[in-house]
Amino acid sequence: MSVPEIFLSRSRYWLTKEYPIKLRHCVNALPRSAVWARPNQVSNSIGNLLVHLTGNVTEWILGGVGGRSITRYRAGEFAQTDGADGSKLLDNLEAVLREADGVLAGLTEADLDRSVVIQERDTTVLAAVYHVVEHFSMHTGQIVFLTKIYAPDKIHFYDDAGGLARPTWHQGTALDEAAH
């Protein structure tokens, strides 16, 4: 596999497997009231972050990389104080991620160097994909942290017995079943 192929393969993996599986574990562990709870007035809720991730992937991958016409009200993603339950928000996000995966699956090495304009910024397809993956990682971490606050001791992603971090987050998921 070439470096561009590895980059795209790993990006697709993080966006369609590991991050969504961890987010689903978090949402399933939370009481319903925690999804739209804000730790304070200047912080975002888990609901805001899930809506925001959906908007970001839609704008950057489906629109910027995929060329679809996208209308997004980014500020509204953060202004929301209530909405769908966590499971529905994740369903919406996962539907967008499946579409984005189709866009990423169709990219070639030459596409990665293509210039695009997203949010009035000149960038490349490679930089846009990299941004989406790192952005998704950051907000996944925030959601994991908030889940540990709102649902203490309800999520554990690794077994550290024996000094090795063995993933537990995929057990009993479609990913785990696909591995067998």
- Whether domain 3-178 has CATH 1.10.3720.10: the reply is no
Return the H-helix or E-strand segment holding 86. Answer: helix 86-105
The segments of the chain whose pLDDT lies below 50 read 172-180
Tens digits of per-residue pLDDT, 82-98?
Answer: 999 999 999 999 999 99
End-to-end CA distance of the chain: 24
**CA proximity to 54, closest of 73, 38, 67, 40:** 73
pLDDT recorded at residue 157? 86
Burial (Cβ within 10 Å: 0-12, 13-18, ≥19) of residue 11 = buried
Q: What percent of the chain has pLDDT over 90?
A: 83
Tens digits of per-residue pLDDT, 151-162?
Answer: 999 998 878 877
